[in-house]
Structure 1
Amino acid sequence: MTVQVKGEFEVKRSPQGACDLGDGVAAGHIRFDKRFLGALNATSVVHMLAVGTEVEGSAAYVAIERITGSLEGRTGAFFMQHNGVMDRGTPSLSLTVVPDSGTGELKGLSGRMAIDITDGRHYYTFDYVLSPEE
């Protein structure tokens, strides 16, 4: 059964060295450190690679995030994979739990997360399933 939890998170952004993509083209590399509040009481480290195009409003990013802490009282860690696209100003974002990445009491975790930014504050909605170990 899918469970939904919501909360807020704080984020600190730290630009890293650019990532060489060849032919003088580079992807931006940014580290984010997050603190989740609410049912997901955790911290995370995210490494993101981002590129833009010559068309205004078109860009993309990919990222891997490791989240460590507790989810409704169950402790452990898991990875999230981010895929963000801006298509001529129209955004889409997919954040998915990496299969079989849950540790500790979060083994068997799967799910998707949505992020909303309102008035400079960051909010998450996490729809997840915690299946018993096989």
Structure 2
Amino acid sequence: MNSTPNTNTPASAGATAIAKGTFDLTLQPQALSEPGTTAGLRRLSIDKALSGDLVGVSQGEMLAYRVDALGSAGYVAMEKLQGTLQGRTGSLVFQHSATMDRGVPTQSITVVPDSGTQAWEGISGRFSISIVQGQHFYEFSYQWGTDSQVA
């Protein structure tokens, strides 16, 4: 069970709230196309289980490139998350773009516009990941759109 305190601030339509917690991550190598193999890319499936303010599971796919000797890398990914946030159940899709420049990370993980379903219709936001001593942490800064169902 997650010992992260509930930091989720209730938000009304248009107001920004922040959800925090941890997640378990499983990455599995997948077959690549001929051009991907020739380019030295890696293709991986993503499976996550999130706990904390946002509880849910996600699946997705990542395309990555890594320069081991220099500690540099980059990846893009699409990930569908299904879960519960502020008592609302729904799903959304995150779009990832991240780089590691000689050990210094830069990431952009955003909700694909209009990807929210059920009580998450209209949701928007940015998701960030940090890794501390092997544990994955998230912070999700989000807004309920005017189309979102009120809890």
Percent of aligned positions with the same letter in both sequences?
A: 41
Superposition deviation, residue 126 in structure 1 = 0.5
Higher mean C-alpha displacement, 50-59 vs 26-35: 50-59
Q: Does the Cα contact within 8 Å between 2:18 and 2:141 map onto a contact in 1?
A: yes
Q: Which has the higher helix share?
A: 2
Cross-structure match for 2:141: 127
Cross-structure match for 2:107: 93
Structure 1 residues 117, 22: closer, same or farther in 2, change over 3 A? Answer: closer
Q: Does the Cα contact within 8 Å between 1:18 and 1:26 map onto a contact in 2?
A: no
Q: Does the Cα contact within 8 Å between 2:36 and 2:42 map onto a contact in 1?
A: no
Secondary structure of the structure 2 residue equivalent to 1:24: helix
RMSD of aligned C-alpha atoms? Answer: 1.9
The alignment covers a number of residue pairs equal to 134
Structure 1 residues 52, 21: closer, same or farther in 2, change over 3 A? Answer: farther
Q: Which runs of 5+ in 1 are unaligned?
A: none
Cross-structure match for 1:113: 127
Q: Which runs of 5+ in 2 are unaligned?
A: 1-14
1:47 and 2:23 equivalent? no
Cross-structure match for 1:10: 24
What's the TM-score once normalised by structure 1's chain length? Answer: 0.91
Q: Which runs of 4+ in 1 moved over 4 A?
A: none
Secondary structure of the structure 2 residue equivalent to 1:21: helix
Structure 1 residues 26, 72: closer, same or farther in 2, change over 3 A? Answer: same
Superposition deviation, residue 89 in structure 1 = 2.7
Q: Does the Cα contact within 8 Å between 1:42 and 1:70 map onto a contact in 2?
A: yes
What's the TM-score once normalised by structure 2's chain length? Answer: 0.81
Q: Which has the higher strand share?
A: 1
